[in-house]
Structure 1
C-alpha cells in the first residue's frame, strides 16, 4: 500500500488494523510526498505486506488505546479483534489476564495459561502476566502469528501460536508530545437471565418447602415474617460499589538524522467493585534510544519499569468469596447482631468481617532492559547482537487480623500473617546475520541466528501467628513461627535458526525456515528437537495476463511446518526428585510423589495452511481467508496413581499422552464504504470456525478424566462433557428422570449411568468480532462487538440458584417453578431433601454476542485552536461491555470458576461456572492533547 505523507510541523503516524495511516494535524503551505510501504513484523522479520507468505493478523496500538479503559490488561482488549484468536476472561478483577487461545490450542494441564501463545515483546519472551502489564499506550502494533510458516521461527515454544508486540520508538523530527487522560467508573451489570428473591419471596418459598416437608422449620408466623421483612436488604449493595477509574499518560517522541528517542510516563488505577479495597494501581515508565554511531554501526537501548499493586479478597468459589455471599445470603439476614457483633450468617462467615479482616495485598515490580548493536558489513549484510532481560519482583502479604471472627473460625483467634517474596529473572542473548540481495526482478533474503535464554525463579514464604495487634501487619511483630517454605527453579533454552526467502517480481514468493531447540525441562533422551516450515505464495493480480483493474491483489498462499510446546510442563518433571520437610524437630527427606520421565519429549504440532488475500478498489476492500489443519502430537499429561518400580506407593508422572487434530476456517474482512475529505465510514469483521478430534491416547487408554466434568475420548472433541443425561420430569409424579446408556429411562440416579455427550465440549466451534468506524469532519465514532457459539459450560451456579435442598440460602425466583400438579410441564422436579443430582440439565450453551465497546470523540484541530501552542485536542467518551445477548444464566465468558481448578486439578477454561468476580460495565470521559 502506498500512502502520501506530508512533511508536517506536527503529525502522527499510527497503525490501524492491517493498515498504516498518515494523519495530518497541521497543513504546511508546501508538502513533499514520500511513499511508505506497509510493513508487518512476521516473527523475526519485517516484511512488506505484498511479500508475506504467512498467516498473520495485526492490531494497531491506536485501536488498543481506545480499548484500554475497558480493562487494565491487554489480553482482554484483543477479544474479537483478530481471526483465530479466542480470549476468555478469567475474572473481572482489575488487572487480571484472560485465557487466550490461537486456533483452538488445547493443552491439558494444571498450569494456568498452558494453552496461551508465546508472547514476544521487542524480541524478549514474556509470560502473559508480564505482557498484560504493558500499558496499551506504549504499543505500536500487535501481530498474531498463526500458521507454521510464521511460528516455526520460534520452534519449541510456538505450538500455541505467537503474539509479537512492537512498542513505540522514536522518529526523526521535532518532538511530538502527547498527553492522554480519562476518568470514569465501572459497576456490576444486572444479572443475566435470573433474578434473586427478595425477603417476601424467600419467606413464601421457605413456607412452601416447610409444607412439603423439605424445610424442617415451622411456617413463619405473621409476627416473625414482619420482623424479617423489616430487615430486607440487598447484600450486593453492602458488598459492592461503583469503581473509580483514572488514567494518565505522557509521551514524548522525536529525534534527528542520527538518533531517535521515545519516553513515556503513566499512571492508571481501578478501585474495583469491592467496597473498601484498593483494587488495582499501576505506575509505568519506558525509555528507548537509538543512535547511529557511524555509517555502519547503530546502537539501541530500551528500559522499562512497571509497578502494580492489587488488593482483594479470595474471590473464587467458596464461602469466603464475597460474590458467593451476594447470591447465597438471605435478604433478611443482618450484617450485625443486636450486640453490634458480626452476624455469622447461614454461611457461618460474615462477608463484611471477611472484607475488613482477611486481606491479600500483592505488589509486583518489573524491570526490563535491552541493548543491541547492529553492524552493516556491506549493503545487504548486517550483524545484530541483542541482550535483553526481565526482572520481576513480587511481594505478597496475606493477613487474618487478630481478634476477628474469621480468625476464630480458622482456629487462630490471635491472627496470622503470611509474607511471600519471589523473584523471576529471564534473559535472552541473540546474535543474527541478515542478508538481502536484489538483482533484476529477483530478491533473496536470509537470516541465521543463535540464541540462548535462561529463566531463574526463587521464592520464600513465611507464616507466623499471634499478632501484636489487629493493625500491626509486619511479620516480624508476630510471636509464633508457624511455617516457612521456599523454592528455586531454573530453565534453559539454546536455539539455532535459519530462514531463507525468495521473491520474483512480487508474483512468486518462497520462504523456508529450520530451527533446532534444546530445553532443560525435557527428558535426558529428548533434550533437542528440530522444527521447520516451508511456504509459497502467488499473486495472480501481478500477472500480465490478468487485467481486471479493480483487483489490487489476489495472493494465494500455502504453508506447512512443525512447532513445539512445553508450556504445560513445570520445571524438573523430567527428573526423579526428593522433597524435604520436618517431622517434629528433625529435618526429613524422601521421594516426591512425582516420577520423572527421562523419555519426555516435545509436544509437537504439524500445521498446514491455505490462504488467499484479496484487495480491491484501491485497497478499500480487503478480504483474507484461511483454511488450516493442525495435528498436535504427544500432548503432555499428568498420569495419576502410577506404581513405580514395584513399590506400594502411588505416584504421578508426566507423559506424552496422545494426538489431537484441529481443522478450521477463518476470515477477515475490512471495507471502506465511504472515503472522502470530510466523511469516512468503514466496517470490519472476522470469524473463526473450528472442528476438533482426539485421534489417539497413550498406551491402551481410550479416555482421560480431565477434571471430573470433561474428558478426552478417542474420536470426540477434547474437553467433551461426560455425565448422566437428564430425561426431564415425570409429568404425573414430578420425579426427576434420567437416561441410561442404553437409552432407557429411570427415576433412579446412578453416577455409573454417566455417558459422553458427543458434540458438547467447552470449545466453541465459531467465534469472532465485528465493528464499524465513522468520521465526519472532527467527529469520530467506533463500535466493536464480539461473539462465540457452539461451546458448553456446566453452570453449577444456575443449578445452585434453584436447588430446593438449599432452602436455607437465598435462591432465584426461578426456584418457584417446580412441579406441583399432574400434567405440569417445563418445570423443575418436585422438591426432595437431596436436591439436584449432577446431570446435563444445567449444561448450558455459551453462545453470546457482546457489545464490547463504543467511543465517540471530537477533535479540535489547529484551525479551531488558533495561536494556542497545541496541534490538536480530542475529547471523547466511551463505554465498554454495554450489552450482552445470551441464553446462558449469568456470564458465559468467565474462564476460571474455582480456585481448586487451578490449585488441585487440571485447568480447563470455561468448564464450570460458579461465583467469580464479574465482568464490569465501564463509562469514561477522556482528553487527548497533542503539542
Structure 2
C-alpha cells in the first residue's frame, strides 16, 4: 500500500484546523511584543509616593523594595501620565526628591542618593539559595530585617545584596511554601542558605473539573498524578501510560498496534449495555464519546480498532496533571455520566515569568517479533505432522488441492500419477527445508519519533503558553502507522484587577493506517505454515491455491492468495481533525465571592476508508470467482462475475459538534479563623450533535485516477449453475439502501448543581453535593424528570487534635473519611422513544418498508449507582504517606428483556439489572533517602475488586453465550459480569483419542454413559439451568491490580523503574484444531503442543491433547438447549484450556541525566537533560501462553527502546 506524502486532509474539510497551527506561530511574536512593551497609566491626585509604586506594580511585573523611613515624607503628589514607560514614570515621580532607583531581576530598589560630602561605606553580600536537594530556588526574597531593602535570587538561585554598613544586620530569606530562614550577618561576604518545605503552609489543591479546592477540604476518593511522573516517551497518548499508576483504576491493553487505545475500568464494571469507560474531562469541559462505525460491515473490522478514544487527540506534553475521581462524593456532581468514574485532565498554563522555550524530542525503536518467542512448528515439524495425520487416516474438511506447495497436495499428485515417487520425495524434502520467515516478511524493526516545542511566559497582565507537537509512530507490522500533528494556544489576561479571562485553542490532525478485511499480518505470520512459499524462484509473489467460494460460479475455480499482494492492493485508514476552544471568565465580585463562566466548543471530523482492490483475493473470492486478469471477456466465468473490474471501497465519515456552557458562583470565606466554607452553585447546558455517513462503492479502481467501473448489470449475469441471484445482483445493497447509511443523533442536557465544603479548625470537614439532569435521553414520566444525584461525606483529621500534638513530629496526618452518594450513567445508544429504520420499497408488496429498531419505553431512566466509601489517610515523618479505602457500589442497570414477537422484536431495554462492586484500595509513597546528592522515592498501589450480579437477565441465553461470556446477554446472579463457563473435560477416549466430557449425559455409578434403549442415543441430563452442564471458569477481567514506581537519584542522574501487576483474570488458550474437528488445513501452522497429541491407545495416560479426527462419520454432541457442537470444538472451550491471565510486567526502565546548570549556562541554555528508556522490558505470566502476551492472548507487546532530549532556553 502506498501512503500519500501529504499529511493534511483536504483544505475544504480541515484546512481551518491546519490554518490554526500556522496562526499560533503568527500570533506568538505579537504576544512576546506585548509583554516586552508594557505601557503604564498613572492618575494620582494628592497622593503619596507609595501610591505611584502601587500603580506600577498593578500594571507590570515589577515589585518595589524600599525603606519606609526614606519615602514616608513624600506626600501630596499629583501625577497623570498615559502609556508611559517605567523610566518616564520613575523619573517624574522622583524628580523633586533625594531618592534614586535601579532594577535587579524585576525588582525596583528605592534608596537615598549618596551624600557627596559624606561617603557611606557599603557592604556587598552574595550567595545562593537552594532546597534540600541542592536545587536552586529562583525568586527567593532576601530582605534586611525591619526594612524593605533587599534583593531576589535569579534563575540559578543566586543573589547580590548591597547594604550600607550598620551596627547590626539580620537577613531574612523567604519563599512561598518554604520555612523562612533568619541569618545574622557577622562579616561574611558569601552566605548560602538552604530552605526547607513548610508542610503546614504548603496546602495541596485538587482539581475536580468544576472547581479547585484545598485537598484537606475534600472528603471524596481521588488520586492526582503529575503528567511528568507518568510520562512514557515512546507512547503518544496519556491513557497508555496509566497502567499500574492509580489504585482502583484498571488499564488493559487491547492491541500491540499503534493508534489503538487501552480499556480502562475504575472500581469494576457498573453497566451491561452502556459505555463502561470513564468520563474524560479536559480543563473543565466534558469530552464527547468516541465516534462509532457500522459494526456489521466487514470492511470496518480493522478501522474500529484505530479510532482512538475521547482523549487520543491530546498531546501528553501539554498535560499538567491527571486526577482520577472514584467515589460518589467526588463524582456525583457529574450526574448521569459518573458511574464509571471521572478522569480530569488539566493542561499547562503560562506563568508570570520571563519567556521560556522548551524542546523535547524522543526517538524510539520497536523490535520485531521472531519465531524464537513462540512455541510454533518449523517446516520440518509441520510436514511431519501432516505425514503422521495422513497415514492415520485423518479427516479433511475438503479434498486437498493438487499442489507442490503442501504435503497433502504432493501426495494427491503422486497418487493421481501426476508426479513420480522420486519427484514426490524431492518435493517433500524441499517443503521440509523451506522455513519461510513470515515474521521477517510481514513485520519490521520500526522507528518512531515525537517532537514537542513549547513557549510560555507573561506578566501580571497577561500570560501565554504555546505548543506544537508532532508524533510519527510506526508499528512493527508493515503498513501500520500513526501520525499526529497538534497545536495549542493558551492566553490568560487580567482584564481588570478583579476580572480574569483564560482562552485556550487546541487543533489536532491524526492519521492512522491499518488493514482491509481479511488482512492481519501478525496473525498470518503466526498461523501460516513455514513450508508455504512467499516468492517463487524468479522472485515474484508465489500465490497459494485456495478454492473459490464465489456463489455464482460452482465450477471449482482455484484462486491464488499471497498476503503481500493483499497488503499492496488494500488498506484501511482513518483521518481525524479536531478543534477545541475553551473560554474561562472569572469575576471576583467581592472578596470571597466569584462568578465564573466556562464555555467550550468541540468539533471533531472523521474520514475513514477501507479498500480492497481488484487484484486482491478478497474481491476475487467475493465478487468475481477467478483471479485478476485470468479470464477473457465473454468467457463463462466472466459472465458469472458480478464485479469483473474494480474493487470495493468503504467510505465513512462522522461530524461531531459538542458544546458546553457552565455558569458558576462560588463563595469562599474563613470565619473567626476556625470556620472555612466553600460553596459552589451552577448550571450547565450541553449538546452533542453527531452525523454519521457511510457508503460502499463497488467497482472502485484507485490506480486509474480513482475511477468507478460499472458492475455487471443484472440482465447480463449468467451463473454457471442453477443457483439463484438477488434481484439486483451486487447493486441490491445500493438499491435497498443497505449500501449506505446516514444517522443523525442529538443529545441535549440541562443541569443544575451545587457543592458545599465546610471545615472546622482543619480537623472536621463536611462535603455535600447535588445535581439534577434533564435530558432528551430519559423517559417522560414525572418521577424521571427530577431524579437527582447527590452525595455527602465527613472527614476527621485526628492529627490536628490538641491531645495529639505530642505526636506532631511523627504523625503529620491521620484522617478518617466516609461518604455516601448516588452516581449516574446514561446509555447513549438507548432512547425512550420509538425508533424506526426507514428502508426502500419492498418489491413483494410495492410499499415502503420500515424496521423497528427500538421500542418506546416512557419509564426508562438512567442507571443509578449507590456508593459508600470509607478511607484513611496517614502521613508519617513528612516522608511516608499511606492511603487505605473500602467501597461498595450498588448499580441498577438497563438490561434486555424478552417480549412477545408480535411487537416486532425479540426484546427491549428496561431498568432492572442489579450489580454490586465492592473493594479495597491501598497506596504507599515513601522517600527513605533525601539528601543533597541522593534521593530515593518508592510508590506502591494495589486494589482488589469484587464484582457480583444480584439479578439475572431474562433474555434467551444459550450455551454458546455462556461459553463466550457474552456480557451484553449474560447476567448471572452471584457471578461477576465478565464471567464465562466451559465444558467439563473428562478424558480422552482410549480407542480413538477423542475428548469426552462430564455433566452432559446421565451416567451410572461406574461413570458409564446411560443409553436410551429405544433410540440407542445417550440420555442427556435433565437440568434447570444451562450452566449445570458447564463449569464456571472465572472472569475475563482481572480483579486485583497493583503498581510499583521507584526513582533513585544521584546528583544529576536518575534511574527509574515502573511495574504493573494484574491478577485474577482467566483466558482460553487457542485451539490448535479447527472447530469442526477436521485436520488443520495444510497451509496452517501449528503449535508444537500437537507433537504430544494422542496417537495410539495408552497415550491417554500421558497426554490430554486429542488425536487427529479419523472417524468417517461426522460426530457432534447435541446439548440440552438444542445446540450441537463438535467434540474438538468443545475440547477447545473446555476447562482444560483455561489458564490464568495474571501477570507482572516491567513497563519501563529509564535513565535520565540532568546536565549541570553551570555547564548549560556556558552554552547559553537554561537546562538540558538526556534520557534513555526501555518499555515492555519483561512480563512474568503462565508458561502455557508459550510466548504470547497474557493481556493480548494471541499477540505480543514489542520491546521499545527510546532516547530523548529536553532543552530549555
TM-score (norm 2): 0.69
Aligned partner of 2:675 in structure 1 is: 442
Q: Does 1:85 align with 2:249?
A: yes
Q: Distance in 2 between matches of 1:873 and 1:453?
A: 44
Aligned partner of 2:938 in structure 1 is: 683
User: 1:24 deviation in Å?
Assistant: 11
Q: 1:258 aligns with which of 433, 445, 461?
A: 461
Q: Could you tell me whether the CA contact under 8 Å between 1:595 and 1:651 is conserved in 2?
A: no
Aligned partner of 1:18 in structure 2 is: none
Aligned partner of 1:815 in structure 2 is: 1090
Aligned partner of 1:794 in structure 2 is: 1068
Aligned partner of residue 393 in structure 1, secondary structure: strand
Q: Distance in 1 between matches of 2:950 and 2:957?
A: 10
Q: Could you tell me whether the CA contact under 8 Å between 1:706 and 1:719 is conserved in 2?
A: no
Q: Distance in 1 between matches of 2:223 and 2:988?
A: 49
Q: Does 1:771 align with 2:1045?
A: yes
Q: Could you tell me whether the CA contact under 8 Å between 1:529 and 1:602 is conserved in 2?
A: no
User: 1:758 deviation in Å?
Assistant: 4.1
From the superposition, tell whether residues 189 and 245 of structure 1 become closer, same or farther in structure 2 (CA, over 3 Å): same
User: 1:258 deviation in Å?
Assistant: 1.9
Q: Does 1:34 align with 2:176?
A: yes
Q: Distance in 2 between matches of 1:813 and 1:759?
A: 25
Q: Could you tell me whether the CA contact under 8 Å between 2:1066 and 2:1139 is conserved in 1?
A: yes
Aligned partner of 2:627 in structure 1 is: none
Q: Could you tell me whether the CA contact under 8 Å between 1:660 and 1:695 is conserved in 2?
A: yes
User: 1:617 deviation in Å?
Assistant: 1.0
Aligned partner of residue 609 in structure 2, secondary structure: strand
CA distances 1:26-79 after superposition (whole Å, capped 9, x unpaired): 3323664112432111342322232221111112110233x141x322212111
Aligned partner of 1:8 in structure 2 is: 138
Structure 2, unaligned runs of 5 or more = 1-129, 141-152, 161-172, 178-201, 291-308, 397-407, 415-423, 548-559, 624-642, 714-730, 1010-1017, 1111-1125
Aligned partner of residue 802 in structure 2, secondary structure: coil
Aligned partner of 2:452 in structure 1 is: 249
Q: Give 1 or 2 for the bigger CA radius of gyration.
A: 2
Q: Distance in 1 between matches of 2:327 and 2:972?
A: 26
Name which of structure 1's ranges 581-590 and 48-57 shifts more when overlaid on structure 2.
581-590
Structure (1/2) with the larger helix percentage: 2
Q: 2:981 aligns with which of 711, 716, 722?
A: 722
Q: Could you tell me whether the CA contact under 8 Å between 2:934 and 2:1049 is conserved in 1?
A: yes
From the superposition, tell whether residues 877 and 438 of structure 1 become closer, same or farther in structure 2 (CA, over 3 Å): same
Aligned partner of 2:189 in structure 1 is: none
Aligned partner of 2:60 in structure 1 is: none
Q: Does 1:140 align with 2:320?
A: yes
Aligned partner of 2:794 in structure 1 is: 536
Aligned partner of 2:228 in structure 1 is: 62
Q: Distance in 1 between matches of 2:1051 and 2:894?
A: 56
Name which of structure 1's ranges 200-209 and 748-757 shifts more when overlaid on structure 2.
748-757
Q: Distance in 1 between matches of 2:677 and 2:1001?
A: 64
From the superposition, tell whether residues 868 and 799 of structure 1 become closer, same or farther in structure 2 (CA, over 3 Å): farther
Q: How does 1:665-704 map to 2 (within 5 A)?
A: 665-697=920-952
From the superposition, tell whether residues 337 and 471 of structure 1 become closer, same or farther in structure 2 (CA, over 3 Å): farther
From the superposition, tell whether residues 163 and 342 of structure 1 become closer, same or farther in structure 2 (CA, over 3 Å): same
Q: Could you tell me whether the CA contact under 8 Å between 2:646 and 2:709 is conserved in 1?
A: no
What's the C-alpha RMSD, in Å, of the aligned pairs? Answer: 3.2
Q: 1:455 aligns with which of 677, 688, 698?
A: 688
User: 1:177 deviation in Å?
Assistant: 1.4
CA distances 1:137-159 after superposition (whole Å, capped 9, x unpaired): 00000000011110101111000
Q: Could you tell me whether the CA contact under 8 Å between 2:281 and 2:343 is conserved in 1?
A: yes
Q: Distance in 1 between matches of 2:426 and 2:1032?
A: 54
User: 1:807 deviation in Å?
Assistant: 5.1
Q: Could you tell me whether the CA contact under 8 Å between 1:594 and 1:653 is conserved in 2?
A: yes
User: 1:712 deviation in Å?
Assistant: 2.2
Structure (1/2) with the larger strand percentage: 1
Aligned partner of 1:343 in structure 2 is: 543
User: 1:293 deviation in Å?
Assistant: 0.8
Q: Distance in 2 between matches of 1:334 and 1:462?
A: 37
Q: Distance in 1 between matches of 2:894 and 2:522?
A: 34
User: 1:750 deviation in Å?
Assistant: 8.2
Q: Distance in 1 between matches of 2:434 and 2:1076?
A: 23
CA distances 1:80-136 after superposition (whole Å, capped 9, x unpaired): 100000011121221211111000124323x7xx21011111111113613122111
Q: Distance in 1 between matches of 2:912 and 2:571?
A: 41
Aligned partner of 1:186 in structure 2 is: 366
From the superposition, tell whether residues 705 and 204 of structure 1 become closer, same or farther in structure 2 (CA, over 3 Å): closer
Q: Could you tell me whether the CA contact under 8 Å between 1:522 and 1:602 is conserved in 2?
A: yes
Q: How does 1:185-264 map to 2 (within 5 A)?
A: 185-189=365-369, 194-214=374-394, 217=408, 218=411, 221-264=424-467
Q: Could you tell me whether the CA contact under 8 Å between 2:1037 and 2:1064 is conserved in 1?
A: yes
Q: Does 1:103 align with 2:378?
A: no
Q: Does 1:656 align with 2:911?
A: yes
User: 1:528 deviation in Å?
Assistant: 4.5
From the superposition, tell whether residues 882 and 746 of structure 1 become closer, same or farther in structure 2 (CA, over 3 Å): farther
Aligned partner of 2:621 in structure 1 is: 409
User: 1:252 deviation in Å?
Assistant: 1.1
Aligned partner of residue 92 in structure 1, secondary structure: coil
User: 1:683 deviation in Å?
Assistant: 1.1
Name which of structure 1's ranges 24-33 and 871-880 shifts more when overlaid on structure 2.
24-33
Q: Does 1:488 align with 2:488?
A: no
Q: Distance in 1 between matches of 2:463 and 2:516?
A: 46
Aligned partner of 2:471 in structure 1 is: 268
Q: Could you tell me whether the CA contact under 8 Å between 1:199 and 1:229 is conserved in 2?
A: yes
TM-score (norm 1): 0.89
Q: Distance in 2 between matches of 1:783 and 1:750?
A: 56
Aligned partner of residue 156 in structure 2, secondary structure: coil
Q: Distance in 2 between matches of 1:453 and 1:115?
A: 21
Aligned partner of residue 155 in structure 1, secondary structure: helix
From the superposition, tell whether residues 713 and 462 of structure 1 become closer, same or farther in structure 2 (CA, over 3 Å): closer
Aligned partner of 2:1172 in structure 1 is: 877
From the superposition, tell whether residues 261 and 800 of structure 1 become closer, same or farther in structure 2 (CA, over 3 Å): farther
User: 1:475 deviation in Å?
Assistant: 7.0
User: 1:790 deviation in Å?
Assistant: 1.1
CA distances 1:524-562 after superposition (whole Å, capped 9, x unpaired): 223553100000000011111012121110111001000
Aligned partner of 1:300 in structure 2 is: 502
What is the number of residues matched between the two proteins?
A: 884
Aligned partner of residue 229 in structure 1, secondary structure: helix
Aligned partner of 1:910 in structure 2 is: none
From the superposition, tell whether residues 841 and 700 of structure 1 become closer, same or farther in structure 2 (CA, over 3 Å): closer
Q: Distance in 2 between matches of 1:192 and 1:746?
A: 44
Q: Distance in 1 between matches of 2:516 and 2:1068?
A: 22
Aligned partner of 1:159 in structure 2 is: 339
Name which of structure 1's ranges 324-333 and 38-47 shifts more when overlaid on structure 2.
38-47
Q: Distance in 2 between matches of 1:163 and 1:207?
A: 57
From the superposition, tell whether residues 854 and 352 of structure 1 become closer, same or farther in structure 2 (CA, over 3 Å): same
Q: Distance in 2 between matches of 1:494 and 1:614?
A: 40
Q: Could you tell me whether the CA contact under 8 Å between 1:198 and 1:232 is conserved in 2?
A: yes
Aligned partner of 1:920 in structure 2 is: 1198
Aligned partner of 2:351 in structure 1 is: 171
Q: Distance in 1 between matches of 2:822 and 2:709?
A: 53
Aligned partner of 1:425 in structure 2 is: 657
CA distances 1:618-662 after superposition (whole Å, capped 9, x unpaired): 2x11110101111111x12344x6335x35x43442222410111
